[in-house]
Every structure is written in structure tokens, then in C-alpha cells.
Structure 1
Amino acid sequence: MGAQPSDQGQVPLLEAPLTVIDWGRLRSNETQEGKKLLEACEGQGFFYLDLSCDESFLQDWKAVLAFMNRYFHLELSAKMKDDRKSDTHGYEPVATSTGAVNSLPDYYESLKEASRDELLGNTSALAPDVRDNHALFLRFCSTAHKVFMTILRQLDDYLGLDDQSKLVRFHREDRESLTTLSMFRYPKQESLDMGVGHNKHTDIGTLTFLLCEQWGLQVLSKDPVGWRYVAPKSNHAVINVGDTLRFLSGNRFRSAVHRVIPTRGLQHEDRYSIAYFLRAENDIQFTDSTGRQVSAKTWHDEKFNVFRETHEEQEKLPILTGGMERMESLVV
């Protein structure tokens, strides 16, 4: 159980009952951890991953946070030099998309480090500050990627998939994908005039590896039904299923709807989160939530476009939330 915010008073926050999986046991192929993984992907679609066994990665986590603290406190004009008008790399200022409250935009800024392909190649598409810390980010992403490949292999084994249907086959390292690392800052705010939080959505890709030490993330829980906070846990990542994994599994796995919203109306401190998004090869085909056959890249591009639509337009199509609300008749 994560500690409640110190200034929350006597009002308890409703927490999501998420499974905790031990990374050391999972990578050692312990049967019990594999079963817990399968059940978590079929159930809430969210789970904690205990990283306590990997001290070097925890140190890299601290180093990335230190980088974020430096970078996001630069003058806006300096950060805008990294604006690539891209969904996969570069800087993006606050109030770019719709937010967690109707009629208001979001209230976070982000630095998308670049696609994994660009990071591996150390290309000029990387922001200069990222290139200056290339070894750190390469180590960080390599560990997150190793976690994901282990998870996919475990799921392949439990599902008994043939060679052509194995999940790892859709994530070959020699094929182009939009796998990326993104860093987010939700700035301390004095009023709601500029926006609030991060709008409800399901993630685009296969799996998300999320690190955050502060409250704000909520998942639309299946049992019990309703919005529940994902409590921050020391030395733990939060892993969640994305749309692509749900589609590739024939809807067996659940891509849960989630959002970021301040616990007390306003963001009373800077909130930092780090997300490594595993995405399938660009040309992989699947049946989406509207029944169409689309490629992983098409789904990615279309969904990012919907993020920038008005709340009214978003409600008309089952894209932003991956069709999950309609499929499960969840009330938000």
C-alpha cells in the first residue's frame, strides 16, 4: 500500500487493487509469477513490477529524474528548440491536447526522447540534451525492453501460441517500430486556467513501463468498478496492457482506461513520470476496436490525432479509450 499524500487530511484515496509481480522471480521463469502475470493482463490490465532486485536500474531511474528536473526547468524558449512537431520525439508544451476535465486542455509538458530505433542509432533526431546523456538513456531503455520481451515470452508460453502467432514475433528488433521513451512533467499550478491533468485513454501500443513517485494516476477499475488511484510504490514500476496487445490477443487481455488528475483539484507540486512504450512493428496488422484491419502505425497515428480533438469529438469514436468503455459498459 502506498503512502497517502501528507496533506490529504482524513479523506482516504480509493486505490486500485493491483497485483505485485517480482521482476527477479519473473525473469527466472518461476511458475507462480508467470501465472500472476497472465491473470493481471486478463484482469485489470495493470500491475506493479517490483524492481528491488535491480539496483543499477534504480540508480539510472534517479539519474533520469535528475535530468528531467534540469531539463523541464529550462526557459520555454530553450525547450521549444526541441519541438519537432512529432508524436514520437521532441518537446511538447502544456495545453497541447484535451485534458482530464471537459472544456479544459491537458496540463503537462513532455520530452519524447525519440523512437527506440533513433536511440539505438544515436541519430540527429535526438534532442541535444538527450544525446549528451546517450549512455544513460540507452541503458535505461535496454532494461525496460528486456522486461517487456520477458513478459511477452511468458505470455506466449502460457497462451500456447504457434510460431506464427507468438507475440514476440510482432516485436522483432530488426524491424521499424514506434517504441519510445517519454518523460512528463505536470507543473505546479496556481489555477485551472491553463488546463488539468492528462485525459482518459488507453495506451496505443503493446505494453507501457511507467515510473512515478507521486500520486495522480487513476485507472478505470474493473473490480470494483470506477476510478481508482494507482498508489506510487517505492522501487516499483507500473506496467499496463495497451491496445495493440489486446487486439493481438483477440481481446483476451485488457487495455485499461486511465488518466492523470490531481488529488486535490490543482497540481500542488511538480509531478514527474517516465514511460517506456513498447509498440509493435509498424506494418503489423490487427483488427481494431471499430472492426477494421489496420497497421500498428496507422492505429498510432490516428489515435494521436484524436488526442488533439475536442472532448465532444472524442466521445463519438471508440478510439481514445480503445472501445473499452463501450465494450464493458463502464461508467465514468
Structure 2
Amino acid sequence: MNCPRDWPEPIVRVQSLSDSGISEIPERYVKPPTDRPISLSSSSQSDVNIPIIDLQGLFDNESKSFSGLKSSLIYEQISEACRNWGFFQVVNHGVPPELMDQAREVWQEFFHQPVEMKQCYANSPKTYEGYGSRLGVEKGAILDWSDYYFLHYLPCSFKDHKKWPALPVSLREVIEEYSKQVVNFGGRLMKVLSANLGLSEDYLENAFGGEDNIGACLRVNFYPKCPQPDLTLGLSPHSDPGGLTFLLPDQHVAGLQVRHNGHWITVKPASHAFIVNIGDQVQILSNAIYKSVEHRVVVNSAEERVSLAYFYNPRGDLMIQPAKELVTPQNPPLYPARTFNEYRLYIRTKGPQGKSQLGESQKSSTS
């Protein structure tokens, strides 16, 4: 099955709707009552946050090796978060704080350009690369209250700077360096995840295709102000179909919610932290020892938000299946061998649908 080359309906930019001063959102953004943020407010937990892990001292910048007594505790914290939450925040991760700020700022500038400047980068469902406003190609689908920009960084054959915004003038340079730093951190963290599973440090990255073959792409999310935030979502509940996600959130406006023990937990971003979450491919490789967990984004009427989600993925045509070392007669493989391209095509076609791309119901994904 191939993605169509165009969207099923004319694209409306959510930012333009918000800027127009409307007092009611169009019907196509109104979620069914059971899917609205208000429907689960009684079961949300405002005093709980996802784990925050300080990586100070974990990485030796010269040898990229792990050392020190503190490492054992950090390894344990990461293992616990991967098994029980699927989400955690990391501070002192090695990516310069000033670069993180610059990355957010250039994208804020991009989204505040005149719409005709952005339209020249309008995307299609064929690759999703460029300026977009919807996921999924089902005609008449209920849409999310957000715009985005999607671009490729790795493999190098996918990267095309001409498809990256030319304005603001510093964007390409900033995002090139930011991408390099995030991917480098992703490779280091993959070693920790592998070791925590009892596998060789390079196991997960090799399963992804090796250092020179991984996929890395960026989705910048723009959530405009919404006049009726209780009726819609910025991003519907879903788990990420890829490997790992490194989210640079808005530092001032919370919006990401993670499903945990049947509750929606609103993530409170730590200063200059990355929010890391396990994707479906790592859940598969770990035979569900690590969990990819549903999450969603709520919007508000007072403030807009910008977040940068970096996806660290397997090469698209590789077969991904549970690691043989983790499969026993007592723990048989839970997932068939499939390529990442098959999972990615599912969500690109259907849009965010909980964890249905893994064959799991919403209820079973509560961890």
C-alpha cells in the first residue's frame, strides 16, 4: 500500500484559524465527548511527574564510554523508567542549553512568518516532509489543533537542505548542529538501553542498521491558541512508531500528557531537559520489556506552544523483531518480524490511533 500524493481535502492552517479571532472551532476539530481532555480530567493526576534523571558524569566526552560509581544508579533509573513509564526527562545530557534555546527560537520565528512564506514548503502525505497541518489521509477525519514542520536528517541520502526553511537565515545552520548533537546523544543512550537489557552495548543500534544507517528526522509542532481547548486536542493519543523520541518542549507552557496507570499525567518540563520516550520499535526489540506508551497534547486559549520532537529510528527496510536473547519458552516472541516502513505507513495513513499499529488496544497500553 502506498501513500497518496495529495491530501483528501483542502488544507487549512490551524494558525490562520487561531489568528482570525474565531470564538468557536470548526466542527472538523471537535473530538467525540469520550476523547476530549475534559472527559478524563477527573482521573488526571496533577501532582505526579514523569521521572527526571540527571546524567551528570555518565558520559566520558572523550571516549564515549561509561564510568564511575554513579553510573550504576543512573543505569537503574533509566531501566526503571523504560520498563514502568516509557517516558523520562534527562538533564545534563551534553547538548548545550544555548543550542536548545536557539533551536526553539528559529522555529518560533518560522511559524510567525506570513503564511505565503510558509506555503512554499507545503507537504504531501507521500513523504510528510515540509509544512503540514494534518496526519492521516482518511477523508472526513477529525483533525488535531496543530501545524507542524517535518524534515529528514539521516540517512544522508534523505537530507535535502532545500526542503528546510531558508528563513530565518540561521535556521539551517542551527538545526544542522542541533541535529548532530541530538543524534550523538541518541547513540550514547542506546548503549545504556542495550546494556540494561543484558545485551551488548551496540545491539539496539545495530538492529537499527548501525551508526551510518539509522533514520533521524525532526517534527516541529506548533500549537496555536484555541478558543475551545476542552473540545479538541493538539495531538491525539498515540505511541510513536519509531525507536526513541527526544522532545524539546516549550519551557513555559505545559501540554504533553502521558498515560500512566489509567491516568493522564501532565508533564512538567525541567529546565533544558529532553523528554525521552520509548517508541514501538524498541518495545518490539525488547519483547515488551521496555514500553512505548500513549501520549497526547492538550491546547489552551491563552498561549501558543512550540516543541521539537526528534525521532531516532531504524532504517526503514530492516526487519524488526524481538531480540533472540530475550526470547525463551516462557517468554515467546510477542511480535512478528516487520519493517519499520510498515509501521510508519500505518500511522501516516490512519493518523494517530493509540497503539493500534502494534495490534494493542488503548486499555492494554496503560502502563
The answer to whether residue 180 in structure 2 is matched with residue 142 in structure 1 is: yes
**Structure 2 equivalent of residue 68 of structure 1:** 107
Q: Is the 8 A contact 1:209 1:237 kept in 2?
A: yes
Report the Cα offset of residue 139 of structure 1.
1.5
Report the Cα offset of residue 21 of structure 1.
1.4
What do the CA deviations read for 1:14-53 (whole angstroms, capped 9, x no partner)? Answer: 14442221233332431111111111101101001013x7
Q: Which of 38-47 and 22-31 deviates more?
A: 22-31
AA paired with 1:34? Answer: Y
Secondary structure at the aligned position of 1:124 is classed as: helix
What do the CA deviations read for 1:61-102 (whole angstroms, capped 9, x no partner)? Answer: 111222112110122222121013154521103x5559xxxx
The answer to whether residue 313 in structure 2 is matched with residue 279 in structure 1 is: yes
Q: In structure 2, how many angstroms separate the alpha carbons of the residues matched to 1:62 and 1:119? A: 28
Within the candidate set 3, 9, 14, 2:46 is matched to 14
**Structure 1 equivalent of residue 75 of structure 2:** 34
- Residue ranges of structure 2 left out of the alignment (5+ in a row): 1-43, 61-65, 323-332
Q: From the superposition, tell whether residues 268 and 247 of structure 1 become closer, same or farther in structure 2 (CA, over 3 Å).
A: same
**Structure 1 equivalent of residue 302 of structure 2:** 268
Report the Cα offset of residue 129 of structure 1.
3.4
AA paired with 1:293? Answer: A
Secondary structure at the aligned position of 1:128 is classed as: coil
Q: Which of 127-136 and 207-216 deviates more?
A: 127-136
**Structure 2 equivalent of residue 114 of structure 1:** 152
Q: Is the 8 A contact 1:241 1:253 kept in 2?
A: yes
Within the candidate set 310, 331, 345, 1:301 is matched to 345
Secondary structure at the aligned position of 1:181 is classed as: strand
Within the candidate set 195, 203, 209, 1:157 is matched to 195
TM-score, normalisation: structure 1? 0.79
Report the Cα offset of residue 190 of structure 1.
2.6
Q: From the superposition, tell whether residues 130 and 38 of structure 1 become closer, same or farther in structure 2 (CA, over 3 Å).
A: farther
What do the CA deviations read for 1:141-161 (whole angstroms, capped 9, x no partner)? Answer: 122112211111112222222
Q: In structure 2, how many angstroms separate the alpha carbons of the residues matched to 1:153 and 1:196? A: 35
Report the Cα offset of residue 132 of structure 1.
5.3
User: Size of the alignment, in residue pairs?
Assistant: 298
Q: From the superposition, tell whether residues 271 and 133 of structure 1 become closer, same or farther in structure 2 (CA, over 3 Å).
A: closer
Q: Is the 8 A contact 2:316 2:340 kept in 1?
A: yes
Report the Cα offset of residue 209 of structure 1.
0.5
Q: In structure 2, how many angstroms separate the alpha carbons of the residues matched to 1:219 and 1:322? A: 20
Q: Which of 282-291 and 22-31 deviates more?
A: 282-291
Q: From the superposition, tell whether residues 46 and 322 of structure 1 become closer, same or farther in structure 2 (CA, over 3 Å).
A: farther
Report the Cα offset of residue 283 of structure 1.
1.9
Q: Is the 8 A contact 1:122 1:134 kept in 2?
A: no
**Structure having the higher Rg:** 2
**Structure 2 equivalent of residue 5 of structure 1:** none
Q: From the superposition, tell whether residues 277 and 269 of structure 1 become closer, same or farther in structure 2 (CA, over 3 Å).
A: same
Q: Is the 8 A contact 2:100 2:272 kept in 1?
A: no
**Structure 1 equivalent of residue 130 of structure 2:** 90
Q: In structure 2, how many angstroms separate the alpha carbons of the residues matched to 1:48 and 1:324? A: 26
Secondary structure at the aligned position of 2:56 is classed as: helix
Q: Which of 107-116 and 189-198 deviates more?
A: 189-198
Report the Cα offset of residue 269 of structure 1.
0.8
AA paired with 2:194? Answer: D
Secondary structure at the aligned position of 2:163 is classed as: coil
What do the CA deviations read for 1:168-222 (whole angstroms, capped 9, x no partner)? Answer: 20232322x5420121110112346995311000011111111112211100013
Matches within 5 A, 1:217-228: 217-222=256-261, 225-228=262-265
**Structure 2 equivalent of residue 255 of structure 1:** 292
AA paired with 2:58? Answer: L
Q: In structure 2, how many angstroms separate the alpha carbons of the residues matched to 1:173 and 1:258? A: 28
Within the candidate set 175, 188, 192, 2:225 is matched to 188
**Structure 2 equivalent of residue 311 of structure 1:** none
Q: CA RMSD in A?
A: 3.1
Report the Cα offset of residue 112 of structure 1.
1.2
**Structure 1 equivalent of residue 267 of structure 2:** 230
